[in-house]
Amino acid sequence: MILQPLRLSADHDIPAPLLTELTALYASQRDFHALSGDFPDPDDIRPEQVAAALADELANPDVEVLLARGQGRLVGIVITLARHPDPADPDPWIGLLMVDAALERQGYGRRIVSRVEDRLRAAGRTAVRLAVLDDNARGLAFWASLGYETIDHRRDRRLARPCAVLRKPLPPS
């Protein structure tokens, strides 16, 4: 599996074939989108909605969108944030991890997270944080299984949804 940054076209658009793949990936996670409310209709996620969501992310210069490819196809996406908007928070964040639902429980999520942690460690970062919606029991269990510990509960900055904030130290390898 390889992890590579999302590359936009010269017009700053997501190339059409890639947008098709990304839309299928997002649509595969219907239950997550129903829980999160990120899309108006989790049963009808459209390419223009995915493009807009990613454009919003990429508008922040501290954001990196990474695509995970394996078996010749897009298997997941991870969005990282080098700095949290709160100046008191020194850690980078994982803003989103999504694996194609048809490929869940095959280790892709764990491998993607491991590669992200390695990238952060190589950049000199000593810990990483993320937020999980309080209602996302599967997500909380996944992150806890990877050694992330809940350090706080608060509402997310964008939609004020209740979340658990998790953190994991990144000791040198």
CATH code assigned to 2-169: 3.40.630.30
pLDDT at residue 88 above 90? no
Q: Is 125 exposed, middle or buried (0-12, 13-18, 19+ CB in 10 A)?
A: middle
How is the beta sheet containing 162-169 ordered, strand by strand? 2-5, 63-70, 73-81, 93-99, 127-133, 162-169, 149-155
Q: Can you give the pTM of this predicted structure?
A: 0.94
Average pLDDT (109-132) is 96
pLDDT band at 10 (very low <50, low <70, confident <90, very high): confident
Instruction: Give ∠ CA 120-171-2 in degrees, rounded to 5.
Output: 40
pLDDT at residue 9 above 90? no
Average pLDDT (76-91) is 91
Average pLDDT (133-161) is 93
Lowest mean pLDDT among 5-14, 48-57, 90-99: 5-14
Lowest mean pLDDT among 2-6, 33-37, 99-103, 138-142: 33-37
pLDDT band at 157 (very low <50, low <70, confident <90, very high): confident
Tens of pLDDT along 23-81? Answer: 999 999 999 999 898 899 999 999 999 999 999 999 899 999 999 999 889 999 999 99
What pLDDT was estimated at residue 172? 84
What pLDDT was estimated at residue 159? 81
DSSP-assigned beta bridge partners for residue 97: 78
What pLDDT was estimated at residue 33? 94
Residue with tokens 């810990």: 127
What's the Rg (C-alpha) of the chain?
15
Q: How far apart are CA 115 and CA 66, in angstroms?
A: 10
Average pLDDT (111-121) is 97
pLDDT at residue 173 above 80? no
> Which stretches of 29-102 are DSSP H helices?
30-36, 47-58
